[in-house]
Chains A and B, each alone.
Chain A
């Protein structure tokens, strides 16, 4: 293996930079070149994408009706000022 090639251990540290489009063009090529021949890193990248997607499903609960009522009372007062 040539010294210019990424190892898997190096690649996993570049995943966010890759997804953010922050890699230099030559680094991006090295990243994609490694990925094309490595099932482990392909699976890892897919896991990261799934992790991000799952984080997106952690939506907040609904506001408590009492808290909402209290805020509306404030709202009416603030508007009167």
Chain B
């Protein structure tokens, strides 16, 4: 398998050195190094895989195949991308293969299209409909600065975010997960998902807007109670 490795410009020097050391240990077959990358990335890979295949078991298989691919491919890994990007690219490849075998190619064709969703970022009724102030807020968003951090970080708040995430179309969910949860750059995500910068941005925008809406509904509800 030859895998194109996109450059990670954003990766800092210290992170690069740590990455290189870890790769060198993996290339020597160091079990502690393998355990380290498994601890760091296994669950994230599983979450990503689960979006593309029908069952949890299939997702686990895909991640297992990914780890096998890592062990087999690490010798040829040249470090032009981060280890993490390389891992996720192997995963996406395996997940794609599996989805095709399952006859589930929907996520990938859906990645190319934005037509499934034309919802505005903020509901039209939040804006003044006509007159000189048309298009301006009729009900202002409130600042969240005064909400105590422990409430923002409460398990219930995170559960609402997770719910909103789960309700997203798979193309939006993939982009949002890779960008805002896993912390990949837009260039990396475009490369992993084979989508254009513009497409990536539109999907990210819609996904973030929906999660913000869910958070606003939840935080306002708590405030009004």
Residues of A within 8 A of B (CB): 1, 7-10, 12-13, 15-17, 20, 22, 38-41, 43-44, 46-48, 50-52, 54-63, 67-68, 71-72, 74-76, 78-79
Contact = CB atoms under 8 A, between A and B. Distances in A.
Given A52-B208, A63-B43, A44 B31 contact: no
**Residue from B39, B47, B67, B144 with most neighbouring chain A CB atoms (10 Å):** B144
Contacts of A68: 35, 38-39, 42
Contacts of B140: 39-40, 43
Contacts of A71: 38, 42, 64, 67
Given A7-B134, A20-B186, A50-B144, A60 B204 contact: no
SS of A interface (majority):
helix
Contacts of A63: 38-39, 42-43
23 contacts: A7-B127, A8-B127, A8-B135, A9-B120, A9-B136, A10-B135, A16-B201, A20-B186, A20-B201, A22-B201, A40-B141, A41-B137, A44-B141, A47-B212, A47-B216, A55-B165, A58-B181, A60-B46, A63-B39, A63-B42, A71-B67, A74-B68, A79-B71
SS of B interface (majority):
helix
Contact of B47 (A7, A15, A60): A60
Contacts, number: 132
Interface residues of B toward A: which range? 35 or more
Interface in B31-70: 31, 34-35, 38-39, 42-44, 46-47, 60, 64, 67-68
B191 interface: no
Contact of B212 (A17, A48, A75): A48
A16 B189 CA distance: 15
B176 interface: yes
Contact of B215 (A1, A46, A54): A54
